Amino acid sequence: MLLATGRTADALESHRASLAIAETLAATDPRNVDWQRDLSVSAGKLGNVLAKVGRRDEALASYRRALAISEKLAAMDPGNTDWQRDLAVSYSKVGDMLEAMGRDEEALAAYRGDLAVSEKLVAADPRNTEWQRDLSISYEKLAGILLKTGRRADAVEAFRKARAIRERLAAADLGNAQRQSDLVISLMQAAGRGDNARVNPTAGPRGWVEC
């Protein structure tokens, strides 16, 4: 809400304060996984605010900090789907920022990390439609960066996979406006809207909620 009302400085101060508290708790008991996850989320949320105000280097550092913690937690318990999804989101956020900074090859690696985790989540529970949607976004982000880096054939294949998922989701829930909108994006790309047609990286509920 602070960012939405233009109170950028207050938003930064609030998130830095939250991060400081999370750091203190995590340092008090490094084995407390809940506090470690809180620290990761706090770092990610601060990254969101920094990204919004154009402080990209700082945002990237925050996102990478969140990713490092998420990697450790996910490795500790591969069966914890919440932690695995945190990891996918962290990879995606790092990729978004690297791409915004023009560091496309690094962004590609991050998006591949996101896709790998998203694929595992869907394989574990194919009926989870939110994870299916996440996977479609992962494919579309990967396709966009593949296209930018001259890997057109791979990009087309990734776009097709995103479209296939969205067609299934849209057909299964005709009254879901979000599902239908996702499909429209894919259809516009398939119809030749342009090689620069890109998914909105902030679309949907995926990621850390901003304040």
Q: Is the pLDDT of residue 200 over 50?
A: no
Q: Among 7-21, 103-117, 195-209, name the most confident range.
A: 103-117
Q: Is the pLDDT of residue 9 over 60?
A: yes
> What pLDDT does residue 179 have?
87
Residue 74 in contact with residue 80, Cβ under 8 Å?
A: yes
Give the separation between CA 134 and CA 40, rounded to whole angstroms. Answer: 20
- pLDDT over 90 percentage in the chain: 78
Who has greater pLDDT, 45 or 194? 45
> What pLDDT does residue 195 have?
41
- pLDDT single digits (tens) 78-130: 999 999 999 999 999 999 999 999 999 999 999 999 999 999 999 999 999 99
Q: Is the pLDDT of residue 132 over 50?
A: yes
Confidence band, pLDDT 50/70/90 cuts, at residue 5: low
- pLDDT single digits (tens) 169-192: 999 999 989 889 989 988 887 766
**Domain formed by 1-76, architecture:** Alpha Horseshoe (1.25)
> What Cα–Cα distance (Å) separates residue 202 from each residue in 92, 93, 134, 205?
10, 10, 12, 8
For the chain, give every domain's residue range.
1-76, 105-202
